[in-house]
Amino acid sequence: MSAHITNKAYSKRLQRAVCDFGADGSFAKVSQKLKEHHLIDIPESAARSITLNHAREFQAQPSVEGASEEDCIIGEMDGCMIPIVKVPEKSKELNDVRKSRTVYYQEARVALAYKKGSKTPVFEATLESVENAGYALQRCVKRIGLGLKTFIHCVADGAPWIAEQIENRFGTQAKFTIDFYHLSQYLAAAALCCDKENSETWRRVHQNLMKKNEIETVLNNLNVHIENCSQENKCPAETAFNYMIKRTNQFDYYGSKKFNRPILSCSKNTFNL
């Protein structure tokens, strides 16, 4: 019982392995793969039953978009390079270690979560891998109060590792939205190239289009300028286009505003955009 296994049952970790293999191909091959990778024998009927049972449970879960606003948690992650000072062990015995110390840079990653409407976020930070940062955000969300019906609205810049970790840790229970201020920096740079004399107007027009989820219009306008741009160096409009085209499902500002969810991270929520 201490291992949480009952008679004629399968542990949760074994069920997970069965489901992973069962989702990839036929149930007949599940037994072969388990034997090959884990040295465990289970019948084909058990593999089929376990996989289908979990599929039915997953299908029965309510849509996170239909979750109440009282059960919404805001999550954020970011990273930055910080200097690390290293002093050799032998030098620590000396009074002056300035000449023997070395400085190198390492990325620190910060995760935070807070209940929608709250002003008291929970923080965690790590100097380790992106996976550790993902688990840090998961722990923050759990401390706030993660339930089956909790919707997790995540806002951050477009770093691929952030979106990947949010998907890995929360699956369909979370939705990732790129920080609107971060996107606006790309649009502001593009505006100086697309319409230098009226750059601020151009930027605001296209910001408003993005707030209405009219991303195709913005991409088309950028593309038209790129095709006719005579600038020798790389066009900022092309940089913005490439940034956006890779992340077209991460700009749901209209949906965020509809449910009164933030489109700016904590550090940017004082800007009038």
Average pLDDT over residues 4-32: 75
- pLDDT band (50, 70, 90) for residue 212: very high
Predicted confidence (pLDDT) per residue in 117-145, tens digit: 888 899 999 999 999 999 999 999 999 99
Predicted confidence (pLDDT) per residue in 99-116, tens digit: 777 888 999 999 999 999
pLDDT at 3: 53
Sign of CA dihedral 263, 269, 272, 273: negative
Average pLDDT over residues 150-169: 95
Average pLDDT over residues 218-242: 89
Mean residue pLDDT of the chain comes to 85
Sign of CA dihedral 192, 194, 196, 202: negative
What is the model's pTM? 0.70
Angle at 69 between CA 66 and CA 74, to 5 degrees: 105
- pLDDT band (50, 70, 90) for residue 228: confident
Stretch (H or E) spanning 73: strand 72-86
Q: What is the CATH number of domain 69-177?
A: 3.30.420
Whether the per-residue pLDDT at 269 is higher than 70: the answer is no
For the chain, give the longest Cα–Cα distance.
76
In the chain, what percentage of residues exceed pLDDT 70?
A: 85
Instruction: Check residue 129 and report its DSSP letter.
Output: -
**Residue written as token pair 């989702």:** 23
Of 21-25, 153-157, 165-169, minimum mean pLDDT range: 21-25
Average pLDDT over residues 55-83: 73
Whether the per-residue pLDDT at 268 is higher than 60: the answer is no
- pLDDT band (50, 70, 90) for residue 270: very low
Whether the per-residue pLDDT at 163 is higher than 70: the answer is yes
- pLDDT band (50, 70, 90) for residue 206: very high
Is residue 140 within 8 Å of residue 123, measured between CB atoms?
yes
- pLDDT band (50, 70, 90) for residue 37: confident
Average pLDDT over residues 158-169: 94
pLDDT at 267: 61
For the chain, what are the domain ranges?
12-60, 69-177, 180-268
CA 262 to each of CA 4, 179, 192, 255: distance values in angstroms, whole numbers, following the listed order? 41, 9, 27, 10
- pLDDT band (50, 70, 90) for residue 95: low
pLDDT at 42: 83
